[in-house]
Amino acid sequence: MTNVVVVGSQWGDEGKGKIVDWLSERADVVVRFQGGHNAGHTLVIDGVSYKLSLLPSGVVRPGKLAVIGNGVVIDPHALIAEMERLAKQGVTVTPESLRIADNATLILSLHRELDGIREDAASNSGTKIGTTRRGIGPAYEDKVGRRAIRVMDLADLDTLPAKVDRLLTHHNALRRGLGEAEVAHAAIMEELSSVAERVLPFMETVWALLDQKRRKGARILFEGAQGTLLDIDHGTYPFVTSSNTVAGQAAAGSGMGPGALGYILGITKAYTTRVGEGPFPTELHDEIGQFLGEKGHEFGTVTGRKRRCGWFDAALVRQSVAVNGITGIALTKLDVLDGLDELKICVGYKLDGEEIDHLPAAQAAQARCEPIYITLEGWKESTVGARSWADLPAQAIKYVRQVEELIGAPVALLSTSPERDDTILVTDPFED
C-alpha cells in the first residue's frame, strides 16, 4: 500500500476528475497542493453531479478528509461560495471533512482585479497569457514577495493592519502606475473580517496532521491541478500558471516529505488540448482539430473557453514522465479517436534543420519547432465503454502500446468513457 500523487502530464484538462474520483473512493485523505479555483472538474457520484474548483474531491465523499495544503492560493469568497453550492446539494462541509493549512496564501479581490487589468492591457499589446482571471498569478507573486495575507492572519486581528499596509504599499504603487484607483486600507480590512469567521474553523497545522495520518497508515491521495506544461518552471513559460504543478510540489505544497509520496500517476489524454495562449506544436487548425474538440467536448470547465486541439505529443509527455517521476499513466479519452482513418503521434521536432527529441525551453525556439510525426492506422470500431483489453480493436491496442513505448511509462488505467466503471484497470496505484 502506498500514497498516490495525481498530476496532469499535458496542459491540464486531461480528465483528472474521473480518475481522482475513482481514487478518492479508495483514499482516506485527499490533499490539494497547488493552484486554486482556476482548476475545475465535475464529479458524478450516484448519478449526482458536483462541480468542484477549489475543494479537494474527497469533500463530497462521506468519511473522507479533504485537505487544502499550503501550496494552494485560496480565494475565501470562492471557498464560501463553493461550500454553499455543495450545501444546496446536501453536502455539508464541516471541519471534520475539510482542513485548510494555516500557512496557505489568500487571494483577495485586489488580486482578481489586477489579473483582469493586466490581461485586458496585454490584449491590446498581443502579450496576454489567457489566464482564468481568478487572481492566481498576483496572489502567488505576493506570496513569493513576502507580503501575502495568509489564512492564519485572519486569526490575529492585532497584527493584520500592518500586514495590510505592507500589501497596499506595493499594490497601490502598482495601481497608480497602471492608472487605476488606489485600494483603501479599510476596504481590505473589511474584506478580511467579513470572511474570517467562515474560514477559521477549518484552519489546521496541515504538515502535522498529514504526518500523523501517514504514521497511522492512512492512504493519502494528492490531487494535482492544471498540468505539467503549465508548470511555472517546466512549462511553456510565460504561458503557464503561477505554481509548480509537478509531482514534487505535492511534498512542498502540503508539508509531507517527498519519500512518502509513493505512486506518481500522470493523467494523459490520448490527444492534446490547451486553453489560453502559448505554443502548441501539434495543434490542428483543420477539420480533425474541430472533430476532436466537438467529440471530446473540449470546453473549459471554469471559463467555458473553447480548447485548442491537436495530435498526441509523445515528446512532451516523455518530458512530463521525467520531470514528475511518473510511475504510470491513466490514459483518457481514447474513444474520442474512434473513427479516424489515421492517427499521428509527434515523436520529436525539427528545429532549424536539426532533429531534436524534446521541446526547447526558449519561447522563440519553441515557435520554430515543427513536429515530426509517425502515422498509425486508425480504427472504425467504438471503444466507448470498453472494460477489458479484449473489448478494444487491435489498432487501438497498438496505439496505446506505441504511446507507452514513446513516453517511457506504462498505462496503469485506461478510461474509455466519462462513466466511472468504463475503465480498464492494469495497476491499482494504491496497491503498487
Which residues are tagged catalytic? 13, 41, 143
* Stretch of 64-72, 123-131, 183-191, 370-378 lying at the interface with ligand IMP (CB under 6 A): 123-131
* Distance in Å, CB of 403 to ligand IMP, minimum: 21
User: Is residue 241 at the binding interface for ligand IMP, with CB under 6 A as the rule?
Assistant: yes
Closest by CA position to 75, among listed 191, 210, 239: 191
Q: Does 134 bind ligand IMP (CB under 6 A)?
A: yes
**Interface with ligand IMP in residues 9-48 (CB under 6 A):** 12-13, 38-40
Residue 424 interacting with ligand IMP (CB under 6 A): no
* Dist CA 17 CA 73 (whole Å): 20
Please indicate if the annotation marks 47 as binding a ligand. Answer: no
Kindly compute the dihedral angle of the four CA atoms of residues 210, 216, 219, 222, in this order, to the nearest 10 degrees. Answer: 10
Residues of this chain, 272-331, that bind ligand IMP according to CB under 6 A: 275-276
How many residues form the binding site for ligand IMP (CB under 6 A)?
20
Residue closest to 167 by CA, chosen among 159, 180, 33, 120 = 159
Task: For residue 353, give the 3-state DSSP assignment.
Answer: coil
306 is in an annotated binding site: yes
Of the pair 130, 325, the CB lying nearest ligand IMP is at: 130
> Which lies closer to ligand IMP via its Cβ, residue 138 or residue 371?
138
Cα→Cα distances 381→218, 261, 271, 295, Å: 42, 39, 18, 15
Q: Which residue is nearest to ligand IMP (CB)?
A: 276
- The C-alpha atoms of residue 74 and residue 82 are separated, in whole angstroms, by 12
Nearest distance, CB of residue 41 and ligand IMP, angstroms: 8
Using alpha carbons, list the distances in angstroms from residue 253 to 3, 139, 223. Answer: 15, 15, 11
Nearer Cβ to ligand IMP (134/318) = 134
CB of 394 to ligand IMP, least distance (A): 33
Residues 258 and 351: their CA atoms lie apart, in Å, by 36
Contact 398, 349 (CB under 8 A): no
Cα-Cα end-to-end distance for the chain: 7
- Between residues 102 and 231, which has the closer beta carbon with respect to ligand IMP? 231
Quote the CA–CA distance of 91 and 59 in Å, as a whole number: 8
In the complex with ligand IMP, the residue whose CB is nearer, 58 or 137, is 137
Asked if residues 261 and 72 have their Cβ atoms less than 8 Å apart, the reply is no
Q: Which is nearer to ligand IMP, 39 or 168 (CB)?
A: 39
Q: Is 41 annotated as a binding residue?
A: yes
Q: How far is CA 53 from the centre of its chain?
A: 10
**178 secondary structure, DSSP code:** T
Distance in Å, CB of 40 to ligand IMP, minimum? 6
Contacting residue, 4, 30, 65, 129, with ligand IMP by CB under 6 A: 129
The mark string for 193-232 relative to ligand IMP (x by CB under 6 A, - otherwise) is --------------------------------xx---x--
Is 26:402 a contact under the CB 8 Å cutoff?
no
Q: 311: exposed, middle or buried (C-beta count within 10 Å: 0-12, 13-18, 19+)?
A: buried
- Note whether 332 binds ligand IMP by CB under 6 A: no
Consult the annotation and say whether 226 binds a ligand. Answer: yes
Give how far the C-alpha of residue 178 lies from the chain's centroid of Cα atoms, to the nearest Å.
30
Show the cell assigned to 116. Answer: 483582469
Select from 21-29, 58-66, 128-136, 188-196 the region that touches ligand IMP (CB under 6 A). 128-136
Pairing of strands 342-351, 312-313: parallel
Q: Which residue ranges make up the annotated binding site?
A: 12-18, 38-42, 132, 146, 226, 241, 301-307, 333-335, 415-417
Q: Which residue ranges make up the annotated binding site for GTP?
A: 12-18, 40-42, 307, 333-335, 415-417
Residues of the shown chain interacting with ligand IMP in the complex, contacts defined by CB under 6 A: 12-13, 38-40, 129-132, 134, 136-137, 225-226, 230, 239, 241-242, 275-276
Q: Which residue ranges make up the annotated binding site for IMP?
A: 13-16, 38-41, 132, 146, 226, 241, 305
